[in-house]
């Protein structure tokens, strides 16, 4: 509990510092400076997890990330997932929920980063935001991260995969890299305590562009859920 308390204190301090730093970087032309700041923020949280909370992140399957921009569709078990991805993939675009706008300074950072910010309610507004985001991502030529379930899932839990991930994949005409994880075993989405051990973030074999919705959604869900279940069974090392 002491290590967890120290981690939370360091986490919030780092978050405040980087919110201020990234707000300043957002004033600079282009997205590269802000992208570097977000990468540094994610790397700092991953370092705090390792050296303060005792949670070591192992990244597998980097060779599955193609040279060209892709869609990264990941399992979402923990509030730490976004940090681990920011630390692993530089200059990352992403789809985020509009709940993040309630945090001070975050809205400006999301806007400058070119994030696609959607409401969980969906509807015509969400479709318009997705269409606008796709145009920007085509121009930026960055990898883009999306959590297909749209919800945090406890280890062993699964939500319905939403069709937004297919629309992103089809509109951008890019390969999609599924991602499995068991980070939720160490950073529970509801618990204060962090459980020491080694956790895994694993990039899986890319799904090529051009599949229809039914085939794509079935292949994505099968890949992510099967490998995530295997990682959860591995447990913490």
pLDDT of residue 120: 59
Query: Whole-angstrom Cα distance, residue 78 to residue 153?
Result: 8
- Per-position b or e across 188-224, b if 16+ CB within 10 A of its CB: bbeeeebeeebbbbbbbebbeeebeeeebbebbbebb
Whether residue 8 has pLDDT greater than 80: yes
Contact status, residue 196 vs residue 146, Cβ threshold 8 Å: no
Q: Is the dihedral of CA 72, 76, 77, 83 positive or negative?
A: positive
Question: Above 80 in pLDDT, residue 208?
Answer: yes
Q: Write the DSSP symbol of residue 61.
A: -
What pLDDT band is residue 117 in, cutting at 50, 70 and 90?
confident
Tally of CA atoms within 13 A in the half-sphere of 55 that contains its CB: 26
3 state SS of 66: coil
Average pLDDT score over residue span 194-201? 96
Helix (H, G, I), strand (E, B), or coil: what is residue 79? coil
Query: What total number of domains does the chain contain?
Result: 1
Q: Which domain holds residue 182?
A: 1-236
pLDDT at 119: 64
Q: What proportion of the chain, given as a percentage, has pLDDT over 90?
A: 69
pLDDT in tens, 45-81: 999 999 999 999 999 999 999 999 999 999 999 999 9
115: tokens are 């994030």
**CATH (domain of 207):** 3.40.1130.10
pTM value?
A: 0.90
């Amino acid at each position: 509990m002491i290590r967890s308390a120290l981690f939370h204190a360091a986490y919030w301090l780092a978050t405040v510092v980087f919110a201020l730093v990234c707000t300043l970087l957002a004033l600079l032309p282009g997205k590269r400076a802000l992208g570097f700041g977000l990468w540094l923020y994610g790397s700092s949280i991953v370092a705090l997890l390792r050296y303060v909370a005792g949670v070591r992140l192992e990244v597998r399957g980097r060779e599955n990330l193609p040279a060209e921009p892709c869609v990264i569709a990941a399992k979402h078990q923990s509030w730490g997932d976004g940090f681990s991805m920011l630390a692993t993939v530089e200059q990352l675009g992403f789809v985020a929920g509009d709940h993040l706008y309630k945090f001070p300074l975050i809205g400006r950072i999301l806007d400058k980063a070119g994030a696609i910010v959607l409401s969980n309610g969906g509807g015509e507004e969400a479709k318009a935001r997705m269409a606008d985001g796709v145009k920007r991502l085509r121009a930026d030529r960055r990898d883009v991260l999306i959590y297909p379930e749209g919800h945090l899932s406890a280890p062993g839990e699964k939500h319905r995969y939403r069709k937004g991930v297919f629309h992103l994949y089809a509109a951008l005409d890019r390969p999609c890299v599924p991602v499995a994880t068991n980070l939720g075993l160490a950073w529970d989405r509801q618990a204060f305590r962090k459980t020491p051990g080694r956790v895994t973030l694993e990039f899986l074999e890319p799904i090529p562009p051009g599949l229809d919705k039914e085939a794509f959604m079935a292949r994505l869900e099968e890949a992510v859920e099967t490998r995530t279940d295997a990682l959860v069974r591995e447990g913490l090392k």
